[in-house]
Amino acid sequence: MFFGLSYEYLLLIVVTLAIGGLATWYVNSQLKKYTRVPISNGLTGAEAARRMLAYYGVTDVAVHRGGPGQDFFDPRTNSVTLSPDAFDGRSITATATACHEVGHACQYAENYAPMRIRGAIVPVVNLASNAWIFLLMLGIILVSNQLTTLAIVMYAVVVLFQLVTLPVEFNASRRAMTYMDTIALPQSEQGGAFSVLRACALTYVAAALTSILQLLWLLGQRRE
């Protein structure tokens, strides 16, 4: 067994960096493009979020103004946080972002199974994501198959978490698009919102793909 800087590993690094870089570039380009396109109903992202919550009958969910890049739903406080651009913005990007996060709030209200599973494994993932690399390095130094195997198992848990995240994110975007269709936004604006949400989903796909490639490499090294 040899965990070294082989040609295969260098190629893996190049491929994963390329995947991540292309995904980031595409997401940023779509977000910037549709941030410049105003939404025809004139609502801010915060107003769109509150109306979507009311439409689905989801109560007791606060919508907060966060810092730059802070767009998320927090099940611990049952609240949606939006970045300043999404909270105050009146663009397609702001509406799509806000409705996507409300989609997560709807999932939580309905006890959506993939979200429940993801939440259940968060404590294990937090431990595994921080510990696996140290165990791997220690296993290499001590030439311990047990430690390297444990490290790979922990990394596999991280990969599993990323895979479970995919349906959660896709479903939240689907809910957002369904809602935007009910409020009769023009097709061009719905198309723009779909482009934004598809681009954001790509980041999760790219992260999962690169993690799977890394896991396959680790398993290949383990067999050697």
User: Active site includes 101?
Assistant: yes
**Residue-wise burial string across 36-47, b where 16 or more C-beta atoms lie within 10 A, e elsewhere:** eeebebebbbbb
Q: Exposed/middle/buried for 5, CB within 10 Å: 0-12, 13-18, 19+?
A: exposed
Q: Give bridge partners of residue 79 from the DSSP assignment.
A: 62, 74
Q: Is 185 in a helix, a strand, or coil? A: coil
Strand order in the sheet with 79-82: 62-65, 79-82, 72-74
Active-site residue, from 47, 101, 169, 189: 101
Q: Which residues form the catalytic set?
A: 101
